[in-house]
Amino acid sequence: MSPGSRNKSFFAAGERLAAKKPGLRFRAEILQAIRSFFIETGYLEIETPLLIPAPAPELYIDAIHAGNSFLHTSPELCMKRLLASGYEKIFQICKCFRDGERGAAHLPEFTILEWYRAMADYQSLMNECEEMMFHLSQKLALGHRISYGGREIDLLPPWSRLTVNDAFSRYADIPLDAALAAGSFDEAMVTQIEPHLGAPKPAFLCDYPSSLASLARRKRNEPQSAERFELYVGGLELANGFSELIDVVEQKRRFEEEREKRDRLGKKNYPSPDRFLEAMPYMPESAGIALGVDRLVMVLTDQGSIDSVVAFTPEEL
Amino acid sequence: MYTASNLRKGIKLLLDKEPYVVIDFQFTKPGKGQALYRCKMRNMISGIMIDRTYRSVDTFEPADLEQRRMQYLYNQEGHFHFMDLQTFDQVSLGEEQVSDAKNYLIDNLEVDVLLFDGRPIGITLPNFVDLRVIQADPWAKGDSVAGDSKPVTLETGYILRVPPFVEEGIKITVDTRTGEYVTRVKE
């Protein structure tokens, strides 16, 4: 490479970064508005370690090794230990790491907003999502009607709520049970269902099959479904929340199932998160949610690619 | 052998024994679900576009494709004949495989012939080709407003629009990617 071409690539990268400045400034305002919402509603901001010895086993989420430990894939287990010790309303904004995830809405290192609340269930979390997004739109002077990906979206609560079962009968060419049996749940979700969700109002997709919710509580009157939901805005998945499973025997059994499934796919397993399991009997009835902050910024700034809402992509380092 | 995580734009692979090139590629992963790789692909023989969704456990055979520099010889009854200048091997392609490239095929032109399992399936032209104008209306002075153009016929039979000053008998350079006039050639 000649010195000249090196300069040229430096200037091109420098210009790209400079052009991102207004967007990154707005991202910072969004982060501040998120903090103000949680602080004003009585939440405590906490920080838990990014480097952990034992991530939760989940079939399709792969942790990145760092020395003898792992970079966390979410702060879930540590935050639940805090819940078990009497922290009743906590939130965290942190980086999470997931191996091999890279696409228009995926970065292997991304920012999560996660919050937990004692004496709450997934219904109350959905209400809180509505309140938070509405708060953001007011605080940032966006108004409650935003435009994302060429669609108008009205953030004014209440938003639409539909069950996974209803979404399959409405949008997919295969019923939910058949999709689960055939192993084509994810394909139907991505190609047939997701594009319809979250416009003209954000949508909560609720009541996932229990087999797809290893840390969520089952519905009391309907044990084949779990009290888990995903939030969609304009076809983009923004958050995943659930009523927390607090039965340690069932949790151990589900972790074991996940480990067996990972084994069958030839994926590595992690050490057992024993300290989390020891704390679990002390967890109150509670609910928790993880929201992708980069994607929230995409929605609020009408960007189609996650690359445009972060200063650096992995490829630019 | 490729796995789904190798998929990206431009990669060429074998499906049902035919070569495909990935035109568009999207990584998706529904909440807590598995990674899905959504591809738009073009069949390199028929040109037909297809959509496919793959999982990370799926594997693919790379397509056995080879590009060889060859010289265009002649066209006989819709068959375009080419010769490898190193080995003197000759191959021929049908009209539908050559498609619009026939507008630029003049004797001795060197092109890249794409071979799949040793069979020719397509050609890549040089970006610019010089061709002689065999028919052009004379340039009437006075109607020379900037932006004016007129149709001319080239030695291959290709008809395109050129600036009014281009005369019969001269050579012009044509961009084979756009099919448009570039400049006059000094001879």
pLDDT in tens, B118-131: 889 989 999 999 99
Q: Which residue of B has its CA nearest to A290?
A: B31
Q: Are residues B15 and B51 in the same domain?
A: yes
Nearest by CB: B26 against A103, A213, A240? A103
Question: Do B30 and A189 lie within an 8 Å CB cutoff?
Answer: yes
pLDDT at site A101:
94
Q: Which residue in chain B has the smallest CA separation from A215? A: B32
Tokens of A243: 């009523």
Q: What is the mean pLDDT of chain B?
A: 90
Judged by DSSP in three states, A96 sits in strand
For position A9, which CATH number holds?
3.30.930.10
What is the DSSP code (8-state) at residue B49? Answer: E
A107: left (phi over 0), alpha (psi -120 to 50) or beta: beta
Other C-beta atoms within 10 Å of A44: how many?
13
Chunked in runs of 10, what are the mean pLDDT values of chain A (317 residues)?
Answer: 59 88 98 98 98 95 96 98 98 97 96 98 97 96 95 96 97 96 94 96 96 90 95 97 95 95 93 97 97 98 97 94
Instruction: Answer yes or no: are the C-beta atoms of A187 and B34 closer than 8 Å.
Output: no
For residue A58, the cross-strand partners are none
Q: ipTM value of the model? A: 0.84
- Reduced to 3 states (helix: H, G, I; strand: E, B; else coil), residue A209 is strand
Give yes or no: residues B162 and B138 share one domain: yes
Query: What is the SS3 assignment for B65?
Result: strand
**Which amino acid appears at position A310 of this protein?**
V
Give backbone dihedrals phi and psi of B105, rounded to 5 degrees, phi first. Answer: -80, 105
- Would you call A52 helix, strand, or coil by DSSP? strand
B122 forms beta bridges with: B114
- Look at residue B56 in the predicted model and tell me its pLDDT: 85
pLDDT over threshold 70, residue B146: no
Q: What is the CATH number of the domain that holds B88?
A: 2.40.50.140
Quote the pLDDT of residue B175.
94
Question: Do B58 and B6 sit in the same domain of this protein?
Answer: yes
The larger pLDDT score, comparing residue B2 to residue B81, is at B81
CA distance B27 to chain A (A): 5
In a shared domain, residues B6 and B58: yes
Distance from C-alpha of A159 to C-alpha of A200, rounded to nearest angstrom: 9
List the structure tokens of A178.
């058949």
Range of the structural domain that residue B157 is part of: 128-184
- For residue B153 the two structure tokens come to 């016929």
Residue A6 near residue A105 (C-beta atoms within 8 A)? no
- Is B120 in the same domain as B150? no
Bond preceding residue B62 cis, omega within 30 of 0: no
> Where is A154: in which H helix or E strand?
strand A151-154
In the numeric block, the tokens 């060859």 are attached to B70
The residue among B62, B77, B99 that closes a domain is B62
- Same domain assignment for residues B55 and B10: yes
- Cβ contacts of A104 on chain B, cutoff 8 Å: 26-27
Predicted confidence (pLDDT) at residue B45 exceeds the cutoff of 90: no
Q: Is residue B29 pLDDT above 50, yes or no?
A: yes
**B27 and B56 housed in the same domain:** yes
Mean predicted confidence (pLDDT) in B37-60: 91
Residue B183 pLDDT > 50, yes or no?
A: yes
CA separation for the pair A50, A67 (Å, rounded):
13
B36 shares contact with chain A (CB less than 8 Å): yes
Helix axes A21-40, A293-301, angle to 10 degrees: 120
- Contact list, B29 vs chain A (CB under 8 Å): 60, 101, 103, 106
Shortest CA distance to A83 belongs to which of A313, A287, A314, A303?
A287
Range(s) of the domain holding residue A83: 3-316
Whether residue B72 is found in the same domain as residue B119: yes
Cβ atoms of B104 and B113 within 8 Å: the answer is: no
> In this complex, do B53 and A240 lie within 8 Å of one another by their Cβ atoms?
no
Residues A297/A310, Cβ–Cβ less than 8 Å: no
Residue in A103, A237, A265 nearest the CB of B31:
A237
Percentage, residues of chain B above pLDDT 90? 68
- B-chain CB neighbours of A230 within 8 Å are 31
Query: What are the backbone dihedrals phi and psi of residue B156, each rounded to the nearest 5 degrees, phi first?
Result: -85, -5
In this structure, the answer to whether residues B45 and B76 fall within a common structural domain is no
**Closest CA relative to residue A49, chosen from A31, A66, A26:** A66
What dihedral do alpha carbons B50, B51, B55, B57 form, nearest 10°?
0
pTM of the model: 0.82
Residue A225, CB half-sphere, CA atoms under 13 Å: how many?
18
Cα–Cα distance, B3 to A125 (Å, whole number): 39
Domain count, chain B: 3
- Calculate mean pLDDT across residues B94-120: 91
